[in-house]
Amino acid sequence: MIILDPEQVSAARQGDRAALASVVQSLQHPIYGLAMRMLAHPADAEDATQEILIKIITHLGTIRDDRAAGGWALKVASRHLVGMRKRSRVEAMRMSFKDFADDLESGLAAPDDDQTDSTITAIAIEEIKIGCTLAMLTCLNRSLRIAYILGDVFEMSDSEAAEALEISAAAYRQRLSRARKEVTRFVQTTCGVVSQSAACRCENRLTAAQGSGRVTLGAPAFGLSAPATDIPKLRHQIRTLEEGRRAAALMRSNPSFPTNVGDLIMEVMK
């Protein structure tokens, strides 16, 4: 998942600041993407990314094989995100899948007719889909969550993900299987993108999301300037897949999450 130029890593280890900046820039987006999916909140993900990048910069000199630096960085990030003591704001809600399903069901309402064709509203609906899928993952404990993210969202092989998590491939497969079952069961019974029989629709969550402050029209929390997906089209595409693949396809439909955390760190280090 993380690929680094071994020559840049070698130069950075020898004190080349330009090379170090290049390494950090290569790391900031994949690490932030992992942190967002683990913590489900932009500010918490930024804080975690900053902490991870500082750990990597501080211990870069301990790498023995520059060609393996990307895998090592992923280990550092995974270990930090699984072991961090502080809960993210979304984790602190401590919702089970049942709690989350009940919350979604209680806030369904058709949007106003004058909003349905608005670009601003389309962005807000996309943000509801993103926020929902991220919050859904936090219903898993952290060990299962990161196993699912590495395997089904980032599509890493069993051996690659097991190495990143520093466990055996067999143990990883067990975690991934359990996580898949829980996520798949939830989306098949709850998510209208995945299942036609499920009640929840992203557009029908708009009123409740605005009322709770989770979504603000014209002020997207995830940095979207345009809808990343066409929800009705996505709904059709996902439902044509085999049931076992639908949940992962839903998770992978989220856009990349841009951040400049690494740039800020390099500015501070000057």
For the chain, percent of residues with pLDDT exceeding 90: 72
End-to-end Cα separation, the chain, in angstroms: 29
**Cα–Cα distance, 30 to 164 (Å, whole number):** 14
pLDDT for residue 201 is more than 60:
yes
**Cα–Cα distance, 68 to 65 (Å, whole number):** 5
Residue of higher predicted confidence among 216 and 70: 70
Is the CB of residue 130 less than 8 Å from the CB of residue 120?
A: no
pLDDT for residue 122 is more than 90:
no
Interval 234-252 mean pLDDT: 94
Matching residue, tokens 């996520």: 183
pLDDT for residue 5 is more than 80:
yes
**Cα–Cα distance, 154 to 203 (Å, whole number):** 27
Confidence at 266, pLDDT banded by 50, 70, 90: confident
Confidence at 114, pLDDT banded by 50, 70, 90: low
- Classify each residue of 192-220 as buried b or exposed e, where b means 16 or more C-beta atoms within 10 Å of its C-beta: bbbbeebebbbbbbbbbbeeeebbeeeeb
Confidence at 117, pLDDT banded by 50, 70, 90: low
**Residues 6 or more apart in contact with residue 228 via CB below 8 angstroms:** 126, 130, 253, 254, 255
pLDDT for residue 227 is more than 60:
yes
Tally of CB atoms within 10 A around 181: 12
Dihedral over Cα of 185, 191, 194, 197: its sign: positive
Mean pLDDT of the chain: 91
CA 140 vs CA 82, 135, 186: distances in Å: 12, 10, 11
pLDDT for residue 100 is more than 90:
yes
